[in-house]
Amino acid sequence: MNPSLSQDLLLKLDALPSSPGVYFMKDREGQIIYIGKAKNLRSRVRSYFQEGAHDGRRQFKALVQRISEVECLVTQTEQEALILEATQIKTHKPRYNILLKDDKKYPYIRLTHEPFPRIFATRDLVQDGSRYLGPYSNVRAMHTTLMHKIFPLRSCDYKLPSSRVRLCLEYHIHRCGGPCEHLVSAEIYGEVVARAFRFLKGNQTETIRELQERMASAAEHLRFEEAARCRDQLRALESMRARQKAVLDEPVDRDVIGLARHDDEACCCVLEIREGRLLGQKHHFLGGVIDSTDAEIIAAFLGQFYLDTDFIPSQIHLPVPLAEDLELGAWLSARAGARVEMAAPQRGSKAQMLDMAESNAAQLLKERQLKRELQKGRIPQGVFALQRDLRLEFPPRRIECVDISNFHGADAVGSLVCFVDGKPRRSQYRHFKIRDLRGPDDFASIHQVVQRRFRALEEGGEAPDLLLIDGGKGQLSSAVQALGELGRPGQPVAGLAKRLEEVFLPDQSEALVLPRTSASLRLLQQLRDEAHRFALTHHRSLREKRSFGSALDEVPGIGPKRRVALLNAFGSVQRLRETPAEEIAQQVKGLSLKQAHQLKERLAGLTEKTHDHDDE
């Protein structure tokens, strides 16, 4: 077992049961970062923390390093663990799990749980006994299917039975049987509901046969009006059926799932075949798949996709065989109430349908990537607003901002942050340690940072379209002087003063006051705040390391080796302050309890103060 684990985590790992269940891995903030299932919780969870452990994923090491706490839920069977894992992943969306990325809500068809049920479209699932069909990715096709002309069910939201409700227009145009005034019995109304639900689930042949029998019986008993209504319903059903593509000779219900993947994203496309006819397709995008196999992606998709689906077909065809197909098959069969067969066909017409599903998935993924690339190339409104307000020749797509942070002149650092098209480009952030200055001097510090930044361009790199200085006239003048000395007088540069949010330009004596609601000012404020945060974080780190080192030097019995051990174990004064002396002595080998108490007393005398430079 890894010796760097905390005592609490080691105790939890020792107490894990050997039962099936689901485990939740959390970081220091208590956020769930990974959810998994296991046949044996003890062996599976402990395997993450063995020295040299690796499961082939590039993110495995990062995941394990962030784990601070592990919680488990024991289940009776592996199937229960599978259901619970899918439910919890969908609820918590952990960072290191494969996730369905769609944030939109697909619509469902809802059959309410009432004496006279209603059928209507909805995007919200209410757990009140209602039954749901879907989700439907093609909204138009869903509304075409949901035809009250074929199935005369009420669409009103009245609570029936009720003596205060009267017939409405829906009854007179034969789209409702009139249950509000008892013109249809609950038994007959229930038969219509059952017939509609069977049809919506894809069982069209039986519905058509029943209507044909009803039409013949009505005509035989001279109920010609009823026979005419059955005839019209049959025509509408046959018309709808004719628009559906017949792809199989056999009348089977089947879902064909295709997979396409690129980098850290994948798309699963589901072709819905009911009674041998292709009704349509659904698709979902998944993220966090770069380290996962095709089988792992498909398994994760099945668990999340069929979790909220009311109808599960008797056959599911997959692009790859699954290692855990027995567990998934048992779960799907239990949900469907009949045996669900999963297969990965390799040849023939079934394999051709898989190729069709995979081609659709690849096309959908390509469209999504192209759309994202177009969005990346689109310049945000804030950039155009900044060009307008600062009267720049070109849109400032690349903006860099400089800020200085120090503590009475000590540990002075400069920061440079970069935004491209209004978004942070963190790989281009830079720190500058201020050299050869005594005391706090923001003007000289900015002069030095600007010179060092633009001298680096001689070795290659991209100059900013706009250089922003955190400060007023004085700070801006220092930057302009540095640019002039480097032969770059034409570099666009501006200063943003903190007090009144005034913008200073080199060729204007008066400050430019932008509207508080302008997109250009918001963009400048984001840059200034990010540069200030970046500078202050690095400055505090330097100052704390220096304070930490000096504090340790004054504690008797702590030499270089123990100082390094303390730095490796805790890393900051704040963590040492918050840690009891007993735990410090326990974690650092060779450090006595007396020395740990002496160290705590010394650290208690240090104060946390930060000096921020003035804008003017």
- Is residue 393 domain-shared with residue 466, that is, in the same domain? yes
- Is residue 426 domain-shared with residue 540, that is, in the same domain? yes
Residues 258, 359 contacting (CB under 8 angstroms): yes
| Within-domain flag for 309 | yes
| Within-domain flag for 207 | no
Torsion of CA 385, 388, 389, 395, to 10 degrees: 70
- Is residue 272 domain-shared with residue 353, that is, in the same domain? yes
- Is residue 385 domain-shared with residue 448, that is, in the same domain? yes
- Is residue 480 domain-shared with residue 548, that is, in the same domain? yes
Name, in order, each residue with C-beta under 8 angstroms of 486's C-beta and a sequence gap of 6 or more. 451, 454, 455
Query: Helices in 378-406 by DSSP H: which ranges?
Result: 381-390
Q: What is the pLDDT of residue 418?
A: 94
Q: What angle do CA 414, 418, 421 make, to 5 degrees?
A: 160
d(CA 602, CA 591): 15
In the listed set 356, 374, 392, which residue is the last one of a domain according to the structure?
374
CATH code: domain of residue 40: 3.40.1440.10
3-state DSSP call for residue 442?
helix
Question: Can you give 322-357 as a three-state secondary structure string?
Answer: CCCHHHHHHHHHHHHCCCCEEECCCCHHHHHHHHHH
Q: What is the pLDDT of residue 610?
A: 35
Q: What is the pLDDT of residue 572?
A: 66
In the listed set 41, 65, 97, which residue is the last one of a domain according to the structure?
97
| Within-domain flag for 243 | no
In the listed set 309, 343, 374, which residue is the last one of a domain according to the structure?
374
Residues 386, 524 contacting (CB under 8 angstroms): yes
- Is residue 404 domain-shared with residue 295, that is, in the same domain? no
3-state DSSP call for residue 126?
coil
Question: Can you give 182-230 as a three-state secondary structure string?
Answer: CCCCHHHHHHHHHHHHHHHCCCHHHHHHHHHHHHHHHHHCCCHHHHHHH
**What's the total number of domains in the chain?**
4
Q: What tokens appear for 159 in the block? A: 């609570």
Q: What tokens appear for 306 in the block? A: 């069929």
Q: What is the pLDDT of residue 616?
A: 34
Q: Which domain holds residue 139?
A: 108-202
Give me the numbers of helices (H) and strands (E) for the chain, helices first please.
Answer: 20, 21
CATH code: domain of residue 321: 3.30.420
**Per-10-residue mean pLDDT, the chain, length 616:** 73 85 90 91 88 66 85 83 83 84 65 85 78 65 58 81 82 83 86 80 74 86 84 73 55 89 86 77 83 87 82 90 80 87 88 88 83 70 86 92 71 85 89 75 88 85 91 90 90 88 88 80 90 77 58 64 74 75 83 81 56 38
Which phi and psi angles does 415 have, rounded to 5°? -120, 150
CATH code: domain of residue 600: 3.30.420.340
- Is residue 454 domain-shared with residue 568, that is, in the same domain? yes
Q: What is the pLDDT of residue 498?
A: 79
- Is residue 75 domain-shared with residue 186, that is, in the same domain? no
- Is residue 414 domain-shared with residue 350, that is, in the same domain? no
- Is residue 404 domain-shared with residue 287, that is, in the same domain? no
| Beta bridge partner(s), residue 71 | 24
Q: Which of 370, 396, 392 is nearest to 383 (CA)?
A: 396
- Amino acid present at 291: D
Which residue's structure tokens are 């004064």? 573
